[in-house]
């Protein structure tokens, strides 16, 4: 066993052998591990439950698990399974051997073709996250790992956000991330669009890959903030015109004018040598995890007497997501028609995202629901509802008695009703 050093074998719930310590943080340690049945190498993140409860971080842990089950992609570190005892949570993850991308940059700037490859993989993975309603919010080279083939893997979804975290204005309001990579709208403590904030961070990362240093670098953090707020930076002389143009359009203070990921992917500079990811691979990842979640929870209750379902809200709320074969425009027209029939007010947040507000006062104020449409593949569109405010039972009634019958003509399948088979075309 790697890192065993002849010491007594440490077994994790009869499935994994745990070896040397790979790293540690405030409330978690990561160990090298090996699957006893397959011999596969894994990384096992061990979290102390008492510590995360004491620090008020349980919601963050739940969210990280929910997010990592949603975003299964070749350029994202894979969460294989989650197990628990009464005192610890175990994330069993893909073992990535190539180290941090930061270590490569520390040695100096990268050649443009190499930087482009990493940026392409980063954008591909971030685009997939956004299609699933997830924004990472802490993108930086230290959270970008490399596998044995030299391919990029995004890690650390501890600060990521799901649609449920949106306020009534349809925006996020939590300050988080690393200042040197964070978008100005987050630093200003105003509401922000998590996906647009991720795009800014991608722009900073591309600059760092090509330059070997940060665009906004000051010893005094307030001076650095001022530079970020005004997007004040200088290009080194070796940057190509195409790279300068792209970064200039990503590091734009006004998030509404910032280049979008679809626009980035159309640029000739980006398309050079780019091999798109087959989305059906990502869907098959999701189906295997969905099956695991049910089996694993039963196994863990038997082994440790610890009910994982009380700890982790891994599954989305029933009736909150459906797939359709219609276009995003057709779906939006149907939603607008439904809203009129239900006598809700509707506010457009962006092209395929709206907030619907009930007119009547409920048990917890007026019900407010966000609907967002994601085109994940040709003729496959995902529609997700998420409650912003109001009573949960009233939200369930909205989904079951309002949305379901009103949208029945465009619904392919609701989540939890063989949705994975439908997406895979089987």
Domain limits of the chain? 10-95+280-306, 101-276, 321-421
Residue 166 has pLDDT above 60, yes or no: no
pLDDT recorded at residue 379: 63
Rounded CA-CA distance 111/283 in Å is 33
Q: Is 292 helix (H, G, I), strand (E, B) or coil?
A: helix
Alpha-carbon distances of 195 from 158, 260, 284, rounded to whole Å: 16, 9, 24
pTM above 0.75?
no
4-30 pLDDT per residue, tens: 444 457 888 788 999 998 877 666 788
First to last CA, the chain: 41
- Residues contacting residue 84 through CB under 8 Å, at least 6 positions apart: 49, 90, 300, 304, 306, 308, 311
Handedness of CA 353, 250, 276, 64 (dihedral sign): negative
pLDDT recorded at residue 300: 42
Handedness of CA 294, 315, 391, 56 (dihedral sign): positive
Q: Mean pLDDT throughout 209-213?
A: 93
Rounded CA-CA distance 199/91 in Å is 28
Most confident residue range from 13-22, 55-64, 84-93, 264-273: 264-273
CATH code at 101-276:
1.10.510.10
Residue 3 has pLDDT above 60, yes or no: no
Say which CATH architecture domain 321-421 belongs to: 2-Layer Sandwich (3.30)
Handedness of CA 107, 111, 114, 120 (dihedral sign): positive
Alpha-carbon distances of 104 from 115, 126, 210, 240, 261, rounded to whole Å: 11, 21, 12, 21, 25
Q: Please, what is the average pLDDT of the chain?
A: 76
CB neighbourhood size of 249 (10 A): 17
pLDDT recorded at residue 11: 85
**pLDDT category of residue 40 using cuts at 50, 70 and 90:** very high
Structural contact between residues 297 and 285, judged by C-beta atoms closer than 8 angstroms: no
Structural contact between residues 19 and 32, judged by C-beta atoms closer than 8 angstroms: yes
2.60.40.420, 3.40.50.2000, 3.30.1280.10, 3.30.200.20: CATH of 10-95+280-306:
3.30.200.20
Provide the CA 162 distance to its chain's centre, in angstroms: 8
Of 104 and 284, the structure prediction assigns the larger pLDDT to: 104
The encoded tokens of residue 238 equal 């070796």
Tell me if residue 138 is catalytic.
yes
109 annotated as ligand-binding: no
Which region among 68-77, 174-183, 391-400, 415-424 has the lowest average model confidence (pLDDT)? 415-424
Catalytic position from the list 50, 113, 127, 138 = 138
Provide the CA 157 distance to its chain's centre, in angstroms: 6
Structural contact between residues 133 and 383, judged by C-beta atoms closer than 8 angstroms: no
pLDDT recorded at residue 267: 96
Residue 289 has pLDDT above 50, yes or no: no
């Amino acid at each position: 066993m790697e890192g065993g050093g002849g010491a007594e074998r440490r077994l994790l719930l009869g499935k994994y052998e745990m070896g040397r310590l790979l790293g540690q943080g405030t409330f978690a340690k990561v160990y090298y591990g090996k699957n006893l049945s397959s011999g596969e190498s894994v990384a096992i993140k061990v979290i102390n439950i008492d510590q995360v409860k004491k620090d008020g971080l349980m919601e963050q842990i739940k969210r990280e698990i929910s997010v990592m089950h949603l975003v299964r992609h070749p350029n994202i570190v894979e969460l294989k399974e989650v197990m628990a005892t009464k005192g610890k949570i175990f994330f069993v993850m893909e073992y990535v051997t190539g180290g941090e991308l930061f270590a490569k940059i520390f040695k100096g700037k990268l050649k443009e073709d190499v930087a482009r490859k990493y940026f392409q993989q980063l954008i591909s993975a971030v685009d997939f996250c956004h299609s699933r309603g997830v924004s990472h919010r802490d993108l930086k080279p230290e959270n970008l790992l490399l596998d044995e083939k030299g391919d990029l893997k995004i890690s650390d979804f501890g600060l990521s956000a799901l649609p449920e975290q949106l306020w009534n204005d349809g925006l996020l309001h939590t300050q988080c991330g690393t200042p040197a990579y964070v978008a100005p709208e987050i630093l200003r403590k105003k509401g922000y669009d998590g996906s647009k904030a991720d795009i800014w961070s991608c722009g900073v990362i591309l600059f760092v890959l090509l330059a070997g240093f940060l665009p906004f670098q000051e010893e005094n953090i307030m001076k650095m903030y001022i530079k970020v707020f005004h997007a004040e930076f200088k290009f080194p002389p070796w940057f190509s015109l195409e790279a300068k143009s792209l970064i200039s359009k990503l590091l734009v203070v006004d998030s509404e004018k910032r280049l979008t990921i679809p626009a980035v992917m159309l640029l000739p500079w980006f398309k050079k040598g780019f091999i798109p990811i087959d989305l059906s691979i990502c869907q098959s990842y999701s189906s295997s995890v969905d099956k695991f979640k049910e089996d694993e929870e039963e196994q863990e209750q038997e082994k440790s007497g610890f009910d994982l379902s009380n700890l982790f809200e891994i599954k989305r709320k029933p009736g909150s997501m459906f797939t359709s074969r219609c276009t995003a425009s057709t779906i939006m027209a149907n939603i607008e028609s439904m809203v009129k029939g239900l006598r809700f007010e509707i506010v457009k947040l962006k092209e395929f995202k709206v907030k619907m507000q009930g007119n009547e006062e409920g048990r917890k104020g007026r019900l407010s629901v966000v609907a967002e449409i994601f085109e994940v593949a040709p003729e496959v569109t995902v529609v997700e509802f998420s409650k912003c405010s109001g009573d949960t039972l009233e939200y369930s009634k909205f989904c079951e008695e309002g949305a379901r019958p009103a949208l029945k003509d465009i619904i392919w399948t609701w989540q939890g009703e063989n949705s994975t088979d439908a997406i895979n075309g089987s």
